Amino acid sequence: MNKKALFIIPPERFNEDELFQPKEALENAGVEVTIASTKTGEITGDYEGKAKAEVIFSDVSSSDYDVISVIGGSGTNDHLWENEELQAYLKQAHEQKVLVTGICAGAVTVVKTGLLSGRTAACYPVDVQINELKANNVEYVVEHVVAHDDIITGDGPDGAKEFGQSLAKALC
């Protein structure tokens, strides 16, 4: 049976490298990737790149996927950090043994669930994100990727390819 991934992007201003590089790594490993958001249709990235959100994340069951990844970008801070429905969705996925992951501002979204309390994580090296980790009892580490058995976090565009490779390795 083929592995499946759900990539959740903000409804505007996702980071293109953080979406497209991990997506390519998973697809090259034979993983089917679905792009989701808080709305469907074409979404414009931080640098005018385009992606199509096929589904609204809350309309699909997290247990249908092997990995769920929250993608960063300037829109993630504004639209996903405080999204309680998304936090509940990620917690439910974690309870169902789905691999929960996030990159850059998406890592902060995962941290805000409380699932990484007392553990380590990567995020983009800016104070606003590092402070969110500290506020949620998570130790920030300067790495492209921090991989726990159940949760993987990545730092941002520079580590996007490595983040994608770590997701593929965890699934395959």
Per-residue model confidence (pLDDT) at position 1: 56
Judged by phi (left if over 0) then psi (alpha if -120 to 50, else beta), residue 2 lies in: beta
18 and 156 Cβ atoms separated by less than 8 Å? yes
Spatial distance between the Cα atoms of 134 and 137, rounded to a whole number of angstroms = 5
Query: Token pair for residue 51?
Result: 């992606």
Mind listing the pLDDT tens digit for each residue in 8-25? 999 999 999 999 999 999
Total domains, the chain: 1
**Which is nearest to 35 in space by CA: 46, 44, 26, 23?**
23
> What is the CATH classification number for the domain harbouring 95?
3.40.50.880
Spatial distance between the Cα atoms of 130 and 134, rounded to a whole number of angstroms = 6
Query: Mean pLDDT throughout 37-63?
Result: 98
Range of the domain at 149: 4-171
Model confidence at 170, in pLDDT bands (50, 70, 90)? Answer: very high
Model confidence at 172, in pLDDT bands (50, 70, 90)? Answer: confident
Spatial distance between the Cα atoms of 5 and 164, rounded to a whole number of angstroms = 11
Spatial distance between the Cα atoms of 172 and 34, rounded to a whole number of angstroms = 17
Please state, rounded to an integer, the average pLDDT across all residues of the chain: 97
Mind listing the pLDDT tens digit for each residue in 89-137? 999 999 999 999 999 999 999 999 999 999 999 999 999 999 999 999 9
Query: Mean pLDDT throughout 73-80?
Result: 97
DSSP for 47-62 reads TS-EEEE-EEGGGS-G
Spatial distance between the Cα atoms of 152 and 102, rounded to a whole number of angstroms = 7
22 and 167 Cβ atoms separated by less than 8 Å? yes
